[in-house]
Amino acid sequence: MPTTSPAPRGAGGPSYAEVTASNASLRRFLHGLPGVDPVGLEARASALGTRSIKTTAKAFALDLAISMIDLTTLEGSDTVGKVRSLAGKALHPDPTDRTAPRVAALCVYPDMVATAKAAVAGSAVRVASVATAFPAGRAPLAVKLADTEGAIEAGADEIDMVIDRGAFLAGNYAKVYEEILAVREACGTRARLKVIFETGELSTYDNIRRASWLGMLGGADFIKTSTGKVGVNATPANTLLMLEAVRDFRRESGEQVGVKPAGGIRTAKDAVKFLVLVNETAGEDWLSNDWFRFGASSLLNDLLMQRQKLATGRYSGPDYVTVD
């Protein structure tokens, strides 16, 4: 895996200047995108999930999935000790097997960024921070920018922002776009930007497609399904739709954007299904942690258990992995 991330994207490229000029032009563009066939989308996602993975390929997929995890703790009860402990797991997921890859990033609240940064110092593990009034995204822009700036000043390598779903659902696309653009500018070259849509609140697949394009127009380095704080989070179908969006965006603009499904992905079997989606939809260029991530915590434990089973032919006892 690469040890450094690609440079953060610019925002609102010149070929889209007319599209982003006003709310009316954004509406015309977003509502002019091809409509989504829900039945067809879900059938394709389901069919790809049935692909069988052979032993050698499975070993590769398990290690790849581990390397793509944003190991996450986003609880009001988070402590310095918990973050340091999770950082240790990010650096050495399996203390008994140093061949196990490190995770991509450790994701925490802004006030825990400095602790996380110190704990992973000298490694390739990045520190990601949620920001912009996570998880609701309902705050004045000045507050969102201060949230972002504080996280970056504390050492965050990546910012996971949330869009204002109320504004989006009301059709105020310009407000959402301008906030993404402002956070993109606040990140500058210091941090990559992940834009969270909270797909479970967007109601339709058409809205998820529109949000994907809106995030990319605003300069997102990644588009992300969800906060993990609502009932419906990442699904194969909504992730497939977002993968189609980044694929099509690169064809049109030449710029590559990553995808991060988050919430509800708990087993190695599920993770492998998502990797198949990536390979079959966007292609091999997205099969690295520079362009695809899993927002997860408990997923890592099952990946480690399956990895050990593949190596030894048996499962370890319940104390083989740590409880996050």
Q: Which residues are catalytic?
A: 160, 224, 260
258 CB burial (10 A radius; 0-12, 13-18, 19+): buried
| N-terminal to C-terminal alpha carbon distance within the chain | 25
The structure tokens listed for 221 are: 């380095």
- Pairwise CA distance, residues 211 & 168, whole Å: 8
DSSP at 124: S
- Pairwise CA distance, residues 238 & 202, whole Å: 11
- Do 225 and 238 touch, CB atoms closer than 8 A? yes
- Pairwise CA distance, residues 72 & 80, whole Å: 14
The residues near 323 (Cβ < 8 Å, ≥ 6 apart) are 301
What stretch of H or E contains 222?
strand 222-224
Cα three-residue angle 50-51-57, rounded to 5 degrees: 140
In DSSP terms, 218 is beta-bridged to none
SS3 at position 64: helix
The residue written with tokens 């399996």 in the block is 94
